[in-house]
Structure 1
Amino acid sequence: MSRRIARVVLDSPLPQLDRLFDYALPEALGEVPAGVRVRVPLRTAGRMIDAYVVEVAEEDDAERPLSEVESVVSDVPVLPERLYRLARRAADRAAGSASDILRLVIPKRQVRVEKAWKADAVATAPAPDARERADAVLDEYEGLIDVLDARGRAAVEAIPGVRDDRPRWTELLSAAATRVLAAGSSVILAVPDHRDLDRLMTALEASAPVDAIVRLDSRQTNPERYRAFLRTLEGAPCIVVGNRSAVYAPVRAGLVAVWDDGNALFSEPLAPYVHARDAMLIRQEQEGSALLFTAHTRTTDVERLVQHGWLDDVRARRRVLPRIVLSSPQEMEQPAQRVHSGAFTAARAATADGPVLVQVARPGFSPTLVCAECRAPARCAHCGGPLGAAHRGAVPVCGWCGRSARAWHCPSCSSTSLRLASSGSERTADELGRAFPGVRVIVADGAHPVETVSAKPALVVATRGAEPLAEGGYRAVLLLDGPRMLQAPDLRIGESCLRWWSNAAALAAPGAPVHLVGVDGPIGRALATWTQPAYARAELETRAPLHLPPATRVALVEGASASVTRAIDALRALPLPSDAVLGPVPVDDDEGRVRALVRFEYAAGAAVATTLRAAVVAEATGRRRGRRQNNRIPLSVRLDMLDPEL
């Protein structure tokens, strides 16, 4: 006799449970569709656990001992087959668990929202004039309409500037989404933060039906997020707009697009640490949707795909370039001068006409202090963190532990005097307020969020990424602290600085000067000539001989010494170069952990991920069975590490 069985994926972080389990379906449950939430017994733990039904099948061997599904939590299929395949493939590539990805995508159940949800809702098609306006915007880019219609893949260099008080990149994404939605397919648009999300929503609401726009935002309440997720399960096409987790939205996407993929917010901080860009590439490979990477700059990851011919290089038919003015360090009148005389004169002239943007490196008044006698960095006596000041004459405060240093003395020269070593946004605003009497000064940073400014004369001092949108664009842009930004301990700091400066320059009004102070060389020339893809290409060529990402992939293996050694020994059986493994080396803690790095080519990615995942499962099951009771340090694996962590 045959019987019905359900193959389920358990909602558990344990690596040894990251597979499908068979459970018998009792007749009392009736029809159980795939994708629903269920409760099943876990015999090894002696308790009930949540799970998702991936597949329902008939089994001929009815004598095989199987546990039965306890109950169906909800009859809503929240896990479509396409979402499970995407999560499974992304987890396998990152040597992680599919349940960890599903936990990020599927919200917790809200009973009231579920009862009020209507599965037969139908979105309104865009108006004909909206489709014509969208085609007019897309026609500004060479071959972009053909890429969308053929469901191709492209890296699009967005036109800088502001039009109709909106960044032009928002017009690009909203036009592409409107065209694909009018063709009857859903769209996924991913942006880094809430500022970009709000600006893109404004552009979409002007071109697409409001009931066809679905917002997935981390700032939403649980009912709002669950309601939006249920809307993505409907058959009616929609436009999904959100942050990094929006790339997993369970729609039948005809277009997946991301804005500014170089932003660090697209990197997932939770296991298995799948970058939104990698998830988009996997999704496009599985579903065959159109794929767009749009930005003012070009990351080395995207440029590698362009060089391999996997992405088309799409640019504007008529390039509109900001007017960049460089001032090298040799041209500065004084060694410690922050603003070049030419930039100061341009800012003074521009404030008579409208707002001027001044970009600085850090927030606060003075983020770091030094000894007034020997110039040694002032450090906290408790944790060694840097000391900073909230304003002139304020008690120094540690930037790490927050303790006040009232009786500080220099360990080098025993001096008790401190000196301001750097200028944050508030100190810069204080200095510019004295230099520009009668001009309004606005501070925009994490502590003082400002979304928009009017066209009235003002000095807007903003940290990178927090620049507000100015009505009509900024009449001048000053990019300060460039040399300080380039000194950050990051292998991609040049690429990041070019992205920060390009995004700020794109907010300038047509013909407005953009002054990059104190920076020259390849980065300055790339910004001045607006040839960011060429800089990414040169950076990629430099990284290839050194086996640095993204030329190669890098995996981190961390844990107890014996566990890491066993994982490395398993990797040595693969056809990897002799210098593929770096380490292991001790980690600076008291637990006895060690760390190793593994460099490998993309072609060996599947084998390396499978081997490392098997090592993680073996270590987890070994601890469970008591073979290594003294080893309480779990083995952790992370693929595709970020450069700052390297």
Structure 2
Amino acid sequence: MARAAERSDRQPADRLPVARVCVDIGLAHLDRPFDYLVPAAAAADAQPGVRVRVRFAGKLVDGWLLERVAASDHQGRLAFLERVVSAAPALTADVAGLARAIADRYGGTMADVLRLAVPPRHARAEKALEASAPPPPDIPPTVGATASAAAPGWRRYPAGGAFLRAVAARRPARGVWSALPGEDWPTRLAELVAAVDGGALVVVPDARDLDRLDAACATVLGAGRHVCLSAASGPAARYRSFLDVLRGHARVVVGTRAAMFAPVPDLRLVVLWDDGDDLHAEPRAPYPHAREVLLTRAQRSDCAALVGGFSRTAEAQLLVETGWAQDIVADRATVRAAAPQVVALGAEPQLARDPAAATARLPSDAWKAAAAALRTGAPVLAQVPRRGYLPSVACQDCRAPARCVHCQGPLELRVARGAALCRWCGRGEVGHRCPQCGSPRLRASVVGARRTAEELGRAFPGAVVRTSGRDEILDQAPAGPCVVVATPGAEPPAPGGYGAVLLLDTWALLARADLRAAEEALRRWSAAAALARPAAAGGTVVIVADAALAPVQALVRWDQAWFAARELAERRELGFPPAARMASVTGAAAAVADLLHQARLPEGAELLGPVPAGADQERMLIRIRRGQAAALAAALHEAAAARSARKAPLPARIQIDPLELL
């Protein structure tokens, strides 16, 4: 009773007594601000951007105070804020507006986006920062010609110097950068952010890339001049870094996907490296992609933007072809001087000399290239798409896939002389016999990185062989002649570059049932080939693939922009993203049908499907013209709101522009 009386005695604040709060509930029909009264006792702390606790539907829930106003449009009685969690604002008006825009773009809720944008509060980190030293002085920007002179690496690209000067002059320049093979891209990006007169945000795919960029920024900018933001840092370190950015202790922020919403003050540049990496796609609702978030920020803040990589996606090519971004590429003479010699072993001259090259895992020309590199003391890199020893096995006699007797999952061999193990349930298959022919013998269907390392160790007995993959990723290749067997994305750089790079089992990347299979294969090959020495220094890349394939031709000529333009033209003709916009609705058949029945889809929307999407699930695709994207997102959000308002029992997941369509 005393507590109820205490609440009834509370008085609203004298000035701006109404707080508009985004309640942390991810239901579509509640995706709007709600009005609460600000208690007079909390008026000083209840400022826009602070975390609050409020009563909602009888429960105490979290929320964000978005703004304070003089009066409410609500006709009924308003409840009071229960309390202000922290007087330190953690949500800026710019990030709140961005969150609303991204929620609308992906048909999601603002509450879901804010969970991605602002890390969970860590009270000790917050208190420790209050007692920390003042921020270091800003780095003086280098403007105009000085900026170009300070970054000579950008002169190798005809449009690079102009882009650098435009960024330094605070102009909203936009570029798509095709990095040269062997390019020290972390240093180039550090030079770019050093020229910015204001804040800069750089997002990279993973922790290894972030470590390299962090070191380059420390060298170019100086210690303490930038902040790293990553979800892998741990709760305390991540929140402290977030507060450093929020309070202006650093104007340059580098990080992984978690940094795409970083509250960088006076944002003048956003950069995304390797936008084709699927790590840039957020796996939580509403599933935003870092590329779209950063380009939206560039548009809203009228700042410069750069999308870069060794390869190029169709989405990046679309930015160039629509005139939104400038193409930043080197001329052909510079490319030829920097690129390694790329040899495709499916070409007719190689097949004439070595008929087995079309089927061998390590054709003679690949073996000769590796042996020549090792003789000169240079390291060799072999890229293998699959990790493990033999990740897939089959019957030696009838070739039937080997499956677990318990769950019918695929069997694998993790060591040379061990029992076969199920990849689904983990059970061992001692004394396995083929149910088709009764044979106990197994053969490899797919060869993994460890088995490849074993084979190369026998082929080159004098060389050190190391593997780099999920279990252990090397930061750098060992010095001297060695062979590094790596899975895609785990290739370590080598001092001075690799003498030979072998791209094996290329069919595993090209044969995937995916719209982006060829684009992804070229991206992974280019990342590995870029670690090789230039051809003038003896660098050779051997790709065991048919030379007539378009992605192989792009690698041989080192012309990834040509392949991206070709890919975009084909998708435009077929009506595939990014030439068209698509959304997917996944769930039980009844849920998908119910949501689509509720949705008022734009005129001309094309329904594709349904197709199976796992146990008791199906998937429906919706295709529209690019100009109808906002209308489609709004229609799906409205339908989801109608279903959540009437508490529909079966969920349906909405994804706008999903990465996987097949």
Coarse TM-score class (shorter-chain normalised): over 0.9
User: What is residue 208 of structure 1 aligned with on the other side?
Assistant: 221
Identity %: 39
User: What is residue 607 of structure 2 aligned with on the other side?
Assistant: 581
CA distance in structure 2 between the partners assigned to 1:63 and 1:548 by the alignment: 48
1:386/1:281 CA distance change after superposition, 3 Å: same
User: What is residue 628 of structure 1 aligned with on the other side?
Assistant: none
C-alpha displacement at 1:214, in angstroms?
0.6
User: What is residue 116 of structure 2 aligned with on the other side?
Assistant: 104
Question: Normalising by the residue count of structure 1, what TM-score does the alignment of the two structures yield?
Answer: 0.92
Q: What pairs with 1:213-232 in structure 2 (closer than 5 Å)?
A: 213-232=226-245
1:585/1:368 CA distance change after superposition, 3 Å: closer
Gap runs ≥5 in structure 1: 162-166, 624-630
C-alpha displacement at 1:25, in angstroms?
0.8
C-alpha displacement at 1:60, in angstroms?
7.3
Pairing partner for 1:152 from 173, 185, 205: 173
User: What is residue 168 of structure 1 aligned with on the other side?
Assistant: 184
Q: Counterpart of 1:124 in structure 2: which amino acid?
A: P
User: What is residue 164 of structure 1 aligned with on the other side?
Assistant: none
User: What is residue 546 of structure 1 aligned with on the other side?
Assistant: 574
Q: What pairs with 1:236-635 in structure 2 (closer than 5 Å)?
A: 237-252=250-265, 253-316=267-330, 318-319=334-335, 320-328=338-346, 331=351, 332-334=354-356, 336-352=359-375, 353-511=377-535, 512-521=539-548, 522-571=550-599, 574-577=602-605, 580-585=606-611, 587-590=613-616, 593-623=617-647, 632-635=649-652
Q: Which range is displaced more, 318-327 or 218-227?
A: 318-327
Q: Counterpart of 2:47 in structure 1: which amino acid?
A: P
User: What is residue 177 of structure 1 aligned with on the other side?
Assistant: 193
1:586/1:372 CA distance change after superposition, 3 Å: closer
CA distance in structure 2 between the partners assigned to 1:367 and 1:63 by the alignment: 64
- Give the alignment's Cα RMSD to 1 decimal: 2.2
C-alpha displacement at 1:413, in angstroms?
2.4
1:509/1:198 CA distance change after superposition, 3 Å: same
CA offset digits 1:204-256 (Å, max 9, x no partner):
11111321211111221211001000011123552111111211101132110
C-alpha displacement at 1:448, in angstroms?
2.3
Q: Counterpart of 2:581 in structure 1: which amino acid?
A: R
CA distance in structure 1 between the partners assigned to 2:293 and 2:74 by the alignment: 39
User: Any idea what SS the aligned residue of 1:139 has?
Assistant: helix
User: What is residue 18 of structure 1 aligned with on the other side?
Assistant: 31
User: What is residue 195 of structure 1 aligned with on the other side?
Assistant: 208
1:122/1:373 CA distance change after superposition, 3 Å: same
User: Any idea what SS the aligned residue of 2:483 has?
Assistant: strand
- Asked if the contact 1:333/1:340 (under 8 Å) is kept, the reply is no
User: What is residue 36 of structure 1 aligned with on the other side?
Assistant: 50
2:79 is equivalent to residue 67 of structure 1:
yes
C-alpha displacement at 1:359, in angstroms?
1.1
C-alpha displacement at 1:609, in angstroms?
0.7
User: Any idea what SS the aligned residue of 2:621 has?
Assistant: strand
CA distance in structure 2 between the partners assigned to 1:4 and 1:127 by the alignment: 43
C-alpha displacement at 1:450, in angstroms?
0.8
Q: Which range is displaced more, 121-130 or 376-385?
A: 121-130
Question: Normalising by the residue count of structure 2, what TM-score does the alignment of the two structures yield?
Answer: 0.90
Pairing partner for 2:155 from 139, 152, 174: 139
C-alpha displacement at 1:475, in angstroms?
1.3
C-alpha displacement at 1:20, in angstroms?
0.4
CA distance in structure 2 between the partners assigned to 1:453 and 1:606 by the alignment: 47
User: What is residue 655 of structure 2 aligned with on the other side?
Assistant: 638
- Asked if the contact 1:134/1:174 (under 8 Å) is kept, the reply is no
CA distance in structure 2 between the partners assigned to 1:293 and 1:566 by the alignment: 39
1:133/1:467 CA distance change after superposition, 3 Å: farther
2:88 is equivalent to residue 76 of structure 1:
yes
- Asked if the contact 2:547/2:553 (under 8 Å) is kept, the reply is yes
1:3/1:123 CA distance change after superposition, 3 Å: closer
- Asked if the contact 1:563/1:619 (under 8 Å) is kept, the reply is no
CA offset digits 1:105-147 (Å, max 9, x no partner):
2122222221222488333344799967643233332232244
CA offset digits 1:275-334 (Å, max 9, x no partner):
111111111111111100010111011111211111110113633322211210762532
1:375/1:57 CA distance change after superposition, 3 Å: same
CA distance in structure 2 between the partners assigned to 1:133 and 1:275 by the alignment: 34
C-alpha displacement at 1:572, in angstroms?
5.5
- Asked if the contact 1:153/1:290 (under 8 Å) is kept, the reply is yes
Q: Counterpart of 2:571 in structure 1: which amino acid?
A: R
User: Any idea what SS the aligned residue of 1:99 has?
Assistant: helix
CA offset digits 1:398-427 (Å, max 9, x no partner):
222222122433233233321122321111
- Asked if the contact 1:553/1:601 (under 8 Å) is kept, the reply is yes
Q: Counterpart of 2:136 in structure 1: which amino acid?
A: A
Aligned length: 624
- Asked if the contact 1:483/1:519 (under 8 Å) is kept, the reply is no
Q: Counterpart of 1:348 in structure 2: which amino acid?
A: A
C-alpha displacement at 1:22, in angstroms?
0.5
- Asked if the contact 1:619/1:635 (under 8 Å) is kept, the reply is no
C-alpha displacement at 1:71, in angstroms?
0.9
CA distance in structure 2 between the partners assigned to 1:49 and 1:513 by the alignment: 60
CA distance in structure 2 between the partners assigned to 1:220 and 1:429 by the alignment: 32
C-alpha displacement at 1:462, in angstroms?
0.9
Q: What pairs with 1:114-125 in structure 2 (closer than 5 Å)?
A: 114-118=126-130, 121-125=134-138
Gap runs ≥5 in structure 2: 1-13
CA distance in structure 2 between the partners assigned to 1:639 and 1:479 by the alignment: 34
- Asked if the contact 1:10/1:49 (under 8 Å) is kept, the reply is yes
User: What is residue 66 of structure 2 aligned with on the other side?
Assistant: 54
User: What is residue 626 of structure 1 aligned with on the other side?
Assistant: none
